[in-house]
Structure 1
Amino acid sequence: MEGADADRPPPSCTDLFLGFLGLGLMGFGGVLPMARRMLVEDRRWLAPDQFTELLGLCQFLPGGNIINLSVAVGLEFRGVAGAMSAILGLILGPTAVVIGLGVLYDQYKDDPTLRHIFMGLAAAAAGLLVATAWKMLVPLRARPVTLGIVLLTALAIAVLRLPLLPSMAVLAPLSILATWRLSR
């Protein structure tokens, strides 16, 4: 995979570990927006369309999107060692923080102020998700068929509330077929 900045050497295992460690420590409940910023805009390891394509694959695979993405990026640049570096960076710090916060939450879970804090955090996370979705749509604007699939997916999941797995089982092959037919 060619990165966004072809003159730069690929990231080392240490770079991958530290990059994903930073993501893991900053992004509770909303790492995806920060992952795109780190990978595409800040470190320029991936071009915007590369990020969108890789994330599309990672969303289709079982497991968490950001976990799949860390493994895929690490694997792409440094093989198995890179994949291990990226995923360990992503999960080590947050795991320790979550365990500590879980202990505190257990003691103060009935506090109304804490409930209000969580409502505010949920709103901020939703805003980050919408902003990232918008940025991911930009590279697709020249592909009307792809945008149509995006619209169909949003309609199926968000409006019609169809189950995710059957929707993806229909829409993913449709998307692949449409993209393949148009690229010939």
Structure 2
Amino acid sequence: MSSDSPQAAQEPDASGDAGPPPSLLALFTAFAKMSLAGFGGVLVFARHAIVDQHRWMTAEEFNETFALCHFLPGPNIVNLSMVFGSRLRGIAGGVAAFAGLLGPPTLIMTALAMLYAHFGELEPLRRGLAGVSCAAVGLLIAVVVRMMMPLLKSRDAIALVLMLGVLAAIGVMRWPLQTVLLVAIPLSIAVTFALRRKVAA
């Protein structure tokens, strides 16, 4: 297969850089598809589209970008659309990704909200929503496992210890999220800088 084929253009090169950035229409369409497919959450479909399907980011780059979006105000996936779109196509790219992510679902949810206002008390509908919630949890667990794979493959023991520490503090000890982050973020940054300086030396 020649190097200028469409498939080759989408493959990251040896340095990890992706091919040409997508057009504004491609960004809008991709995020619109993510949002329309995102039953139970868009993160699963966003990672699949960005990393596996279009190869606009590596798995490590996606994890780093999503980690940044966790510490910005607002919903994580909305932050991701703006940061990702802006990274590839500037402010216009951020707006295109943002519009694709929120535009179609907003129209659909407005119509469904009107229907739910009239039929929301029906027992079959309540049971159906309970089943959907179970599927949503399964999707979330699946994407968390996939996002952990780069850490496991790199065998970065420090990163794994920090991750497990945050999980234990929030999920087991039930400590306040803000308190855990105020400790975990500076600690993880300090450890990363120290390790990189040691390697450079």
What's the TM-score, normalizing by structure 1? 0.95
2:109 to 93, 98, 101: 98
Would you say 1:143 and 2:156 are equivalent positions?
yes
Q: Which has the higher contact order (CA 8 A, sep 6+)?
A: 1
Q: Which has the larger radius of gyration?
A: 2
The residue number in structure 1 matching 2:93 is: 82
Matched to 2:157, the amino acid is: P
Residue by residue over 1:87-121, the C-alpha shift from the partner in whole angstroms, topping out at 9 and shown as x without a partner, is 00100000001111111111111111111111111
The residue number in structure 2 matching 1:171 is: 184
Residue 7 (structure 1) shift = 6.1
CA RMSD of aligned residues (A): 1.3
The equivalences for 1:47-126 within 5 A come to 47-126=58-137
Would you say 1:31 and 2:42 are equivalent positions?
yes
Q: Is the 8 A contact 2:50 2:56 kept in 1?
A: yes
Q: Number of aligned pairs?
A: 182
Q: Is the 8 A contact 1:4 1:40 kept in 2?
A: no
Provide the identity percentage.
40
Question: Partners of 2:101 and 2:29 in 1: how far apart?
Answer: 9
Unaligned runs of 5+ in 2: 1-9
Unaligned runs of 5+ in 1: none
What's the TM-score, normalizing by structure 2? 0.87
Runs (4+) off by over 4 Å: none
Question: Partners of 1:4 and 1:83 in 2: how far apart?
Answer: 23
The structure-2 alpha-carbon separation of the partners of 1:134 and 1:4, relative to structure 1 and needing over 3 Å to count, comes to farther
Question: Partners of 2:178 and 2:128 in 1: how far apart?
Answer: 33
